[in-house]
Amino acid sequence: MSALPEEVRIREVGPRDGFQNEPEVIPTDDKVRLVEMLARTGLRRLEVTSFVRADVIPQLADGAEVLRRADIPGEVAVSVLVPNERGLEAALGQRDRIDAVSVFLSASETHNRRNVNRSIAESLAGLERVLPRAREAGLDGLAVISTSFGCPFEGHVPPERVLDIARRLVAAGATEIGFGDTTGMANPVQVRRFFEQAARALPGVELTAHFHNTRGQGLANVLAALEAGCTSFESSFGELGGCPVPAGATGNIATEDLVSMLEEMGVRTGVDLPKLLEAAREVQRVLGRPLGSHTLVAGPVDWHGTA
């Protein structure tokens, strides 16, 4: 097995990627409280909301208010998702509250059209306008490429296509590229090969893995990415999230499962697991249903007890 990194960086995306998939609108007060809890777990990167049209994702219509009200320590880098130039304008109105913007598109033509009603070329053209403006405003730019490891409509997605898209996004100003396993189609052998190839193709760029646990392979894929040198991950507390296209795609890997596994392996995350579990229990209470996180159900491993 390849040597593992000493530490990793985790971005918590539950307040955006997780909440947007919930059918019942979560009260703003609850969102603010949960964001504040997450911001005090030791996590250093937090995606709080998305600036999208309220009729598209009503759940995030209060994003600006959540940003204004949430008391987030200065050491936590706050990001928001923006789908286009209109979303960027809204984000720039909260410039004093955010550190980075995330943009996205799919590596699959079919998925991109079903998700944002644009071709890949049209999405790229738009993002090539958004990223430079964000950088001019002093914001970091993260670009996430969905369906990087496979598409539920098209099947295999060539890694060369994913990396060609990534190169254009970097040229436009992205300092970090996230590769999304949007519907949980990746396997560990594929992941390791991909991140080895991506590291060669994109020197000096932060490469981030975003895995879903649709088929139970999320943490195995994390290990494969680690072995290929990846040190940046996105995850969602409580295993919230999923992809609305298509139906049946379940949540992101749970942040508490990710932290638990990494810390047990000697890889530092900087996250206080008990505080993170407290936040996961609270979002479970707010939603009124059990969540899929394994560590939330079983508890962390206790090396000094009987677990």
Residue numbers annotated as active site:
243
Q: Name the packing angle between helices 255-264 and 218-227 (round to 10°).
A: 50
Three-class secondary structure of residue 180 per DSSP: strand
Instruction: Indicate the burial class of 189 (C-beta count within 10 angstroms; 0-12, 13-18, 19 or more).
Output: exposed
Q: Which residues contact 305 (CB under 8 A, 6 or more apart)?
A: none
Three-class secondary structure of residue 110 per DSSP: helix
Q: What whole-number distance in Å separates Cα of residue 45 and Cα of residue 195? A: 22
Residue 298 parent element (H or E): helix 294-298
Q: What whole-number distance in Å separates Cα of residue 187 and Cα of residue 271? A: 27
